[in-house]
Amino acid sequence: MKQLFPDLWETQEEHPFHGVTTHAYLLTQDSGNTLFYSTGVHEDLIAIQRLGGISRQYVSHRDEAGPPLAAIKQMFGNQLCSHALEVNAIGKYSKVDVVFDGSSVEPDSVEVIPTPGHTSGSTCFVFQSPHGYRYLFTGDLIYPEDDGWGTLVQWHSGGRKKALGDSLLKLREMRPDVVISSASVRRSAVQAITPEQWRAVIDQTVGRL
């Protein structure tokens, strides 16, 4: 585990596909820790246990589903959270405890933002850290790639080009300080950014759709 900010930790990298790197991210709070995305690295789960375990795990879309979800829940007794349109795929590996289909602010102060387009139920999450950073967790909706940013429509999972464009425009005004994707290609998945830079990234990405 690598500490990125006072309340945010990054798990070890995994490589599910050639050239693609994934991580999970642990947000620590006195009220209970939150895990974004998923990890299958046992050493990281031990480290998370030492940091107080987790109360909730947020999955941004079905591609993060797999056997580690059940192992994490067995170890920590946490709630698993996802969009309603992703539940069938995710539920093959572990029961989903918290299901959302619209925007909400959850009890752990995580803001849920449905952003369909990559898959039908792709979801992003925002957290305003008490340490001054506004974190935007984008899943695979938009991710750092080489010297730019990438996005992808997964047609077989209900993704649609127009929905993706609309979702990206929804994120345009989020004003993040740090953007954290679930995957990246030859770059760090964690990118510090200004609001002006973020709007430019979104405009360029939408323009390529």
Q: For the whole model, what pTM was predicted? A: 0.96
What does the alpha-carbon distance between residue 145 and residue 90 come to, in Å, rounded to a whole number? 26
The ranges assigned to domains in the chain are 2-208
Q: How far apart are CA 11 and CA 8, in angstroms?
A: 10
* Fold entry, domain 2-208: Metallo-beta-lactamase; Chain A (3.60.15)
Q: pLDDT tens digits for 52-75?
A: 999 999 999 999 999 999 999 999
Cβ neighbours around 97 below 10 Å, total: 13
Give the pLDDT confidence score for residue 186 in this predicted structure: 87
The mean pLDDT value for 149-168 works out to 95
The pLDDT score that the predictor gives to residue 17 is: 77
Q: What is the pLDDT of residue 147?
A: 86
**Quick check: 10 and 4 in contact, CB under 8 A?**
yes
- Residue 87's Cβ-side half-sphere holds a number of Cα atoms within 13 Å equal to 11
